[in-house]
Amino acid sequence: MMNRRNFNKLLASSFALSLTACNSITSMTSTLPKNKKRVVIVGGGFGGATAAKYLKKFSPETEVILIEQNQNYYTCPFGNTVIAGLNDIEYIKHDYKTLESKYKVQVIHKKVAKVEAKTHTVILESGEVIPYHKAIVSPGIDFKYEKGYVEDSENYSPHAYKAGAQTILLKEQLEAMKDGGTYVMVAPKNPFRCPPGPYERISLVAHYLKTNKPNSKIVILDQKNKFSKQGLFQEGWEKLYGDMIDWRSSEFGGAVISVDPIKKEIITEDEVVKADVLNYIPNQKAGKLAFDSGLTKGDWCPVYKKTFESKLVKDVHVIGDAAIATKMPKSGFSANSQAKIAVLQIARILKKQAIINPPKLANTCYSLVAPNYGISVAAVYEAKEDIFDTVPGAGGLSPMGASPSFRATEAEYAVGWYKNQMADIFS
């Protein structure tokens, strides 16, 4: 059985392996190639791994280097099914072997300190330097530690918003919770990664509790007054879980003043809420690398919408959750779509061809309210000068009041969506 302790041992051994494996920076890597262009991609999640694969498909002659600290990538999508005991942690684990063997991407498992604009180099924490013609940064998110939730608080009150060890910890805490206990989630302010994610998690936690600990209850302290797919989620909650779930908006009892992650106590404007399991999801910002590399303005990274090139640093393109991509949500599918457009435009730029104008992107998001109850939203976007605008008549939202068979079909589609996304990125 893969528990949190064994998972951490696995991570440690993987990291040790990365230090001894063939990941050293060679003399060829430390200088630019003479007869071809080089693109260095930092971050191997939905955005970075997609960018590496599709850049080699669009421009096989380009040298592509992907730098990702971890040997394996654990997806946040379908991480909630692991927390609720529906899947094992291995279900959301993926590696980079196919990118290396089939697509000839050079993958380096080391940590990046910063992207240096002046010298057009990626600087590793080891001090090694890799020059580039173009760089793509997909740094993901980081958390705002505030109101008593500090950097080690996740060891007591996990956020589980970076998948892996946190996913296992929250699962273990849920399994250990007594029947009749209280599971409390603090949901973050906008913008944050995967807007429906907290509410899918609540749904699947409710499914677990209804099945295993039916006298328990769930409280959501939300730092906003509405959330993604709200009507669809609440319709499903009422139908499947009765009054088990108590959602409190920021305006009506949800606003958090302070938190004690060890005691699992949350002070709101109205009361002190005591949790048996506290799932505290902090407010978010771009990953630390984005700040260290001068790519941020405020909490996120401004980009030119048609190419995803940074507005602050020339020849560096930012994709995924860290990029300001309004009206696109911060989601895995968005990152996948953005990566494809970014590398298509980069391939054209490197060949001195005109960029695609205007490019179109898509986002599709499935959520599970129960294992056999799915809901979805989809949209198509057009990249205008400074916004991604929705294309009228494209996409859609699951209908309210749909039949059980309709919801079951959407749940099957959710599983298919995940498998197809993983095949698209890692196979």
Q: Which helix (H) or strand (E) holds 11?
A: helix 4-20
Structure tokens that stand for 7 in this block: 């998972």
Domain range enclosing 38: 4-142+285-357
Residue 279 lies in a domain: no
The HSE-up count of residue 11 (CA atoms within 13 Å, CB side) is 17
Structure tokens that stand for 157 in this block: 């009150």
| pLDDT 10s digits, 57-95 | 999 999 999 999 999 999 999 999 999 999 999 999 999
Torsion of CA 164, 168, 171, 173, to 10 degrees: -130
Task: Say if residue 58 is in the same domain as residue 91.
Answer: yes
Contact by Cβ (8 Å): 130, 118 = no
Contact by Cβ (8 Å): 202, 239 = no
Residue 110 lies in a domain: yes
Burial category of 384 from C-beta neighbours within 10 Å (exposed 0-12, middle 13-18, buried 19 and up): exposed
Closest listed residue to residue 48, CA positions, set 140, 126, 110, 155: 140
* CB within 8 Å of 359: residues ≥ 6 apart: 306, 341, 344, 345, 382, 383
Distance (Å, whole) CA 377 – CA 314? 34
* CB within 8 Å of 18: residues ≥ 6 apart: 69, 71, 109, 110
Task: Say if residue 102 is in the same domain as residue 124.
Answer: yes
Task: Say if residue 21 is in the same domain as residue 133.
Answer: yes
Residue found under tokens 């099945």: 211
Task: Say if residue 321 is in the same domain as residue 373.
Answer: no
| pLDDT 10s digits, 168-199 | 999 999 999 999 999 999 999 999 999 999 99
Residue 189 lies in a domain: no
Residue 147 lies in a domain: no
pTM to 2 decimal places: 0.93
CATH code, 23: 3.50.50.60
Task: Say if residue 295 is in the same domain as residue 413.
Answer: no
Task: Say if residue 13 is in the same domain as residue 138.
Answer: yes
Distance (Å, whole) CA 317 – CA 343? 9
Burial category of 411 from C-beta neighbours within 10 Å (exposed 0-12, middle 13-18, buried 19 and up): buried
Q: 252: how many CB neighbours lie within 10 A of its CB? A: 12
Domain finish residue from 340, 357, 374: 357
Closest listed residue to residue 318, CA positions, set 303, 333, 334: 303
Residue 96 lies in a domain: yes
Residue 198 has φ and ψ, to the nearest 5°, of: -60, -35
Task: Say if residue 346 is in the same domain as residue 366.
Answer: no
Domain finish residue from 357, 387, 408: 357
Residue 413 lies in a domain: yes
Task: Say if residue 291 is in the same domain as residue 415.
Answer: no
Residue 228 lies in a domain: no
Domain finish residue from 341, 357, 373: 357
Residue 374 lies in a domain: yes
Maximum distance among all alpha carbons in the chain?
68
Structure tokens that stand for 180 in this block: 């009749």
Residues in a beta bridge with 194? none
Task: Say if residue 330 is in the same domain as residue 375.
Answer: no
Distance (Å, whole) CA 313 – CA 177? 48
Task: Say if residue 71 is in the same domain as residue 94.
Answer: yes
Listed in sequence order, the DSSP H helices in 31-106 are 46-58, 79-83, 97-101
Task: Say if residue 116 is in the same domain as residue 106.
Answer: yes
Ordered per-residue pLDDT tens for the chain, 427 residues = 455 555 555 554 444 444 434 455 665 688 899 899 999 999 999 999 999 999 999 999 999 999 999 999 999 999 999 999 999 999 999 999 999 999 999 999 999 999 999 999 999 999 999 999 999 999 999 999 999 999 999 999 999 999 999 999 999 999 999 999 999 999 999 999 999 999 999 999 999 999 999 999 999 999 999 999 999 999 999 999 999 999 999 999 999 999 999 999 999 999 999 999 999 999 999 999 999 999 999 999 999 999 999 999 999 999 999 999 999 999 999 999 999 999 999 999 999 999 999 999 999 999 999 999 999 999 999 998 888 999 999 999 999 999 999 999 999 999 999 999 999 999 9
Closest listed residue to residue 279, CA positions, set 183, 147, 204, 149: 183
Q: Count structural domains, the chain.
A: 2
CATH code, 395: 3.90.760.10
Burial category of 32 from C-beta neighbours within 10 Å (exposed 0-12, middle 13-18, buried 19 and up): middle
Task: Say if residue 56 is in the same domain as residue 119.
Answer: yes
Three-state SS for 326? Answer: coil
Residues in a beta bridge with 247? 220
Three-state SS for 177? Answer: coil
